[in-house]
Chains A and B, each alone.
Chain A
Amino acid sequence: MDLSVIAFWSFSTLAVLSAIGVVFFKNIIYSVLSLISTLIMVSGLFFTLGAELVGALQILIYAVAIVVFYVLVISTVPEYKGKAIDPKYMLLSLPVGFLLFLELAYVSVYGAWASNTGIFKPEVLNEIGNVKAVSTILFTKFLFPFEVASLILLVAMIGAIILGRKEQVMDEEEVK
């Protein structure tokens, strides 16, 4: 058995199990820990596909930065007391979701996809490396979306600061 096959099956099994944990754990802290596990396993899947840059960014941005956001907010909001899962939606959504998955899997396996027309053949990628290939395309063909992404991050930062201000608390003090 090839090593990449073993890597794919172990990473994908653990990713799916952790994703089920994310959806069905009652305690939100367990959900976030399962999310970290899922993200790291998805990063491993990227490595098995030869996408080293994206796999490293997945760990650096997702599994570290974004999850820390969630942990900070969960530590601020007190423990959620109500029922975690709505049973009447679960009865409907699980069969519908399963059917949707069957359809997507059928299309994925038996669908007629476009043939490979790209310029990054395995020999080329072996020579220049994945990081150089991705960054070359990023800074030539997708330079304008790259700049727009920085603008989106700036807007999101300003929006998060404005939303997170403690204006309401100051108003209450003024009333007193």
Chain B
Amino acid sequence: MVPYEYYVVLSALLMVLGLVGVIIRKNIIAMLISTELMLNAVNIAFVAFDFKLQEVAGQVFVFFILTIAAAEAAVGLGLIMAIYRMKKDVSVEKLTELKF
């Protein structure tokens, strides 16, 4: 059996990759996709610690994170659609004003 620390290290790697993606991407949709990567890293850590602590509460929290991710994708993509309809652009360099 693989030690659970490896799962936590993998979770850290996915978290850092998602963070780098949020920082370096210019397309706002790609930034949201990188956020999904970070949420998945958290899920892996929860399930790995469940395995270690012989609990199932972390898996319940993974369920909640899935719910929040669905809500986040719906609202975030709705916002992107609204922004695109007003500004005709999804580049973060053009979206620098709070007021349209």
19 additional contacts, CB 8 Å, given A89-B23, A89-B24, A97-B19? A8-B2, A22-B17, A35-B36, A49-B47, A49-B48, A73-B80, A80-B90, A93-B23, A94-B20, A105-B12, A108-B8, A108-B9, A118-B55, A120-B55, A120-B56, A142-B60, A156-B71, A156-B72, A164-B82
Which of B20, B70, B81 is in CB contact (< 8 Å) with A23?
B20
Binding site for B on A (CB under 8 A): 2, 4-5, 8, 12, 15-16, 19-20, 22-23, 28, 31-32, 35, 38-39, 42, 45-46, 48-51, 53-54, 57-58, 61-62, 65-66, 69-70, 72-74, 76-77, 80, 82-86, 89-90, 93-94, 97-98, 100-101, 104-105, 108-109, 113-114, 116-122, 130, 133-134, 137-138, 141-142, 145, 149, 152-153, 155-157, 159-161, 163-164, 166, 168-169
Contact residues of B: prevailing secondary structure: helix
- Interface size of B by Cβ–Cβ distance < 8 Å? 71
- Whose C-beta in chain A lies nearest to the C-beta of B48? A49
Interface flags, B64-97, vs A, CB<8A=1, else 0? 1011111111110111111011100011010000
